[in-house]
Amino acid sequence: MEEEGSGAAGWVGLGLVSDVDLDGFVHHRAGDASPGEVAAAEAAPVLVRKTVKMSETCDFIPYGDGDGDVGDGNSEEDSTATPSDEPLDSAGSSDVPCEETNDTPDYIRRGAPRHGIAPLELFSHPAPEVGPGADGAQEATIGSGSVHETLHADEEKGKCNCCGQLKQEYSLLLREKEECRRVLEDLMRENELKNRECHEAQASLHELKMELMRKSMHVGSLAFAVEGQVKEKTRWCQLLKDLSEKFKALKTEHQILLQESLECKRFVSDATHMTTTIQQHVNQYASLECEFKDLKEKFAGKTKERKDLYNKLIDLKGNIRVFCRCRPLNGDEIEEGASVAVDFESAKDGDGELVVRGHVSSKKVFRFDSVFSPEEDQEKVFEKTAPFATSVLDGYNVCIFAYGQTGTGKTFTMEGVEGARGVNYRTLEELFRIIKERQGLFQYEITVSVLEVYNEQIHDLLLTGTQPGATTKRLEVRQVAEGAHHVPGLVEARVTSMNEAWEVLQTGSKARVVGSTNANEHSSRSHCMHCVMVRGENLMNGEETKSKLWLIDLAGSERVAKTDAQGERLKEAQNINKSLSALGDVISALATKSQHIPFRNSKLTHLLQDSLSGESKTLMFVQISPNENDVGETLCSLNFASRVRGVELGQARKQVDVGELSRYKLMAGRAKQDSKNKDAQIKTMEETIQTLEAKNKAKDLLTMNLQEKVKELEAQLLVERKIARQHVDNKIAQDHLQQQSSPYLRSPMAERNLNLNSTSEKPALLHHKDMGITKQMFSDSNTDTYSFHHLMSLSPEKENSHPEAGGQLLQPTTQNRRVSLCQGAAHRPPANPASRRSSLIPLPRRNSLMLPLPPPMAKQAAAAAAALDVITEQCSPPPVVAPNDKAGGRSKRIINSILRRSLQKKVIIRPALAAQSGRRAAATQGGGGMMTDAGRRARRVPVSGGARGGGVQQNRDKERGWNNGTSLRQHNL
């Protein structure tokens, strides 16, 4: 306070000197001050003696004081306000020692020692003689008054020398004064320039404030609108997200439905194909069935025709056929010279006549179906037997037996020997051959049984095994059905081939009871009966037959007396004859068509009942011996055979299996049921296919509807987006139009920019341009508009992939905007002035919306804008200037140099002002001490005054928010 007051006084003193008329002198009061102070006080008027007017000095405004209380051209206020605001401390000022500072002019310091007085005293003495000019006269007038009071006459010479020196000093002082005057003039001009700059800066600052307020209001409205749009956008984004999810779900469902549709289509296609195939197969099956039916009918007709013809042939030949076969003479008979009693000459013609010569030159002719001489072999015999094998497979019962005297070749004919197989073997072979031939048309099942009737007992030869003569179980004949007889417990060996059948027959034949007789070394003592059961199935019509073939090797008939049988052999012979007699009785009964056929008289006829009845075919081989000695047995056998041949068995009947027929009917019913079931399945499949097709169509329709719905929603969303954008644009345009209607809000900066932009001078285009510019401002100002567009351009997938992105992007932006609008602009300066351009407040643009100002104002505005640019650049933090920013550093260096020069000049100027102020205070108070203090402390004013005044100014600058950099530089300086 003390130094500040002193400094102010010093300035005031200088000001007073300027105000007063410089033609007068200032006298020193020796009693109130020390000599040094007096000299300084008296020297001061000399120093500030000038011709500058007060108005010039009053125009000077200390640097940084922009509040209008100084430098406004009112010198009276300046000179009086400074002491009143900062009163001088008289006590303190008197305590300040009078010391010679560095600011003391050199000529004062040089002149004082020479004259033995204080430097300021030199200025208190009047100049003795001066040079030409008004000033010299004036100085001479002053000097005459003081010389006559102090000097004596005897000191004339010394005075002359002193006057000379004083003149020189005076001339030096005049030159110094002239220099000071020029410096003061420069300072005044600079002061005036600075004052003008300050005015301009103040005007610009005011305009900036107004612009800032207007922009803040504009940004506030924009923020409100954008906030609403952001909310709307959020809602739309949420709606879009929901729609996207729905669309995805619908897409997924559509894909599933599509796959199901494809599967259904494939299924329908397959089903159609299957239906077509099934239909084709059904048609083919129907055609084949018809064809098969025709063929079957034809085949059945032909088969029936063949059977009928065959049966007619058999019938024509007789159901009981008798073949007569004569064995050759054996070796013994040839040795004995036995003669042949049988004549086969007539038999060679095929008539079947046989002539037997008796002992008494008589001949007896027999006629049989076939007569085989001893020369005819087994094959020849079988040729006539083979048709019976066919009849067996056709379902007829056949009985082939050999009858004859012992040793006449019955066994040889039926069984044969190795290399000459008999009828049994060949018949079986023929059976299997025909079965193989009929394979595919018929299916047969062959079983074989071997039994014997020995002593009127039925024995199963397959049970006894290979041990001949072993005791076997006795079997009985039972009638199982009408016309059908069966031996319960009889072994029936199933055979599938000729070898198996022959092996079984051989097994049973080996077990047959044989014995040695006089007529035959290996005479058969029993009736060996081979029963071949045939079960046939016509695969074409399902007809089944069950027939049997008896192959019987009867025991030899013999006369007991001739064979001289005794004991067992006799008994065997009696039983054999009995059974053969019973056979003869049956045949006789059949021949006479007796009502009663004695089948049960013997086991043999009982077993052959179904084969000797009228429904069977019978073939009898009557075996005879050619030996003349056996003519009686031969005639007996031939007579019996002739009687058998005369028997009419009637028409043979086919043995149809009724059970198989019913089974066939059952199978036919099942086949019909299966066909119905298949038809029902096909119908169900067709219904399922139709249902799936309908379902598929419904799903396709639903998918199409959903797709159309999604498209409508997307279109609606686009329209609402456009409406929202138009709403924002309209609102911004309205705000700008309102701002245009308020000309006092025009910014000089905008005015300058408008002047620079020629296109902005066209009012007609202004509105449209403003709309575009507004959009551009809205989009280029790094504000929410960017976020808005960015968000609007976000696809649902992006939002889904970064769900927090939108919110993070939105939230901080909105918050930043609120902070910059409410706090930064209205209540506090920006925390970081450098970020001001990146804030939400849009800076003035060259193509601003402001209308052009009048030309004079435009010039001022342009100048203010230039100054504002410089100030704005200074507002940015100077210490943190980027070293790489050469242009910015250069401009800042220039600005710093300007400020430094300005402050240096202020340092020089301020003591003068302080002295002026002090002088004014001294004039009003009449105290020279105050003036002296003021002048003495004037040197400290820049430092102390800068500290306090700079602090006040800094606070003001802080409030204004733009001059911080300058204040800081003041401190640094």
Residues that bind ligand ATP (CB under 6 A): 327-328, 330, 374, 404, 406-412, 520, 523-524, 556, 623
Closest CB 297 distance from ligand ATP, rounded Å: 48
3-class DSSP assignment, residue 405: strand
CB 502 within 8 A of CB 551: no
Phi, psi of 550 (to 5 degrees): -100, 125
Q: Is 385 annotated as a binding residue?
A: no
- Give bridge partners of residue 523 from the DSSP assignment: 515
Please report where in the chains the tokens 């506030």 appear, as a residue: 220
Q: Is 410 annotated as a binding residue?
A: yes
Of residues 557 and 747, the one with the C-beta less far from ligand ATP: 557
Of residues 192 and 456, the one with the C-beta less far from ligand ATP: 456
Q: Is 464 annotated as a binding residue?
A: no
Nearest to 475 by CA among 457, 491, 461: 457
Would you state the structure tokens that stand for residue 277, as one six-digit string? 């195939």
Closest CB 670 distance from ligand ATP, rounded Å: 53
Of residues 240 and 356, the one with the C-beta less far from ligand ATP: 356
Of residues 45 and 409, the one with the C-beta less far from ligand ATP: 409
> Any idea of the CA torsion for 771, 777, 778, 780, to the nearest 10 degrees?
140
3-class DSSP assignment, residue 1: coil
| Cα–Cα distance, 891 to 885 (Å, whole number) | 10
Of residues 573 and 921, the one with the C-beta less far from ligand ATP: 573
Of residues 403 and 444, the one with the C-beta less far from ligand ATP: 403
CB 277 within 8 A of CB 699: no
Please report where in the chains the tokens 């042949």 appear, as a residue: 340
Radius of gyration, alpha carbons of the chain:
80
Q: Is 411 annotated as a binding residue?
A: yes
Q: Residue 225 contacts by C-beta under 8 Å, 6 or more apart in sequence?
A: 728, 731, 732
| Cα–Cα distance, 563 to 569 (Å, whole number) | 9
Closest CB 543 distance from ligand ATP, rounded Å: 39
CA 130 to chain centroid: 112
Of residues 340 and 682, the one with the C-beta less far from ligand ATP: 340
Closest CB 629 distance from ligand ATP, rounded Å: 15
Would you state the structure tokens that stand for residue 684, as one six-digit string? 């169900």
Closest CB 323 distance from ligand ATP, rounded Å: 12
Nearest to 955 by CA among 946, 947, 964: 964
Nearest to 145 by CA among 164, 128, 122, 167: 128
Q: Is 407 annotated as a binding residue?
A: yes
Closest CB 381 distance from ligand ATP, rounded Å: 9
Would you state the structure tokens that stand for residue 245, as one six-digit string? 């999810």
Closest CB 329 distance from ligand ATP, rounded Å: 9
Q: Is 665 annotated as a binding residue?
A: no
| Cα–Cα distance, 970 to 945 (Å, whole number) | 12
Of residues 319 and 623, the one with the C-beta less far from ligand ATP: 623
Closest CB 409 distance from ligand ATP, rounded Å: 2
Of residues 184 and 528, the one with the C-beta less far from ligand ATP: 528
CB 404 within 8 A of CB 622: yes
Of residues 127 and 326, the one with the C-beta less far from ligand ATP: 326
Nearest to 452 by CA among 602, 571, 604: 604
Please write down the HEC assignment for all residues of 416-471: EECCEECHHHHHHHHHHHHHHHCECCEEEEEEEEEEEEECCEEEEHHHHCCCCCCC
Of residues 92 and 328, the one with the C-beta less far from ligand ATP: 328
| Cα–Cα distance, 474 to 451 (Å, whole number) | 10
Q: For 835-853, b where at least 16 C-beta lie within 10 A, e where not — what string?
A: ebeebbbbebbebbbbebb
Closest CB 353 distance from ligand ATP, rounded Å: 19
DSSP codes of every residue in 886-945: HHHHHHHHHHHHHHHHHHHHHHHHHHHHHHHHHHHHHHHH--HHHHHHHHHGGGGIIIII
Closest CB 455 distance from ligand ATP, rounded Å: 16
Closest CB 563 distance from ligand ATP, rounded Å: 10
Q: Is 440 annotated as a binding residue?
A: no
- Please return the burial class of 445, using the count of CB atoms within 10 Å of its CB with bins 0-12, 13-18 and 19+: middle
Binding residues: 404-411
Binding residues for ATP: 404-411
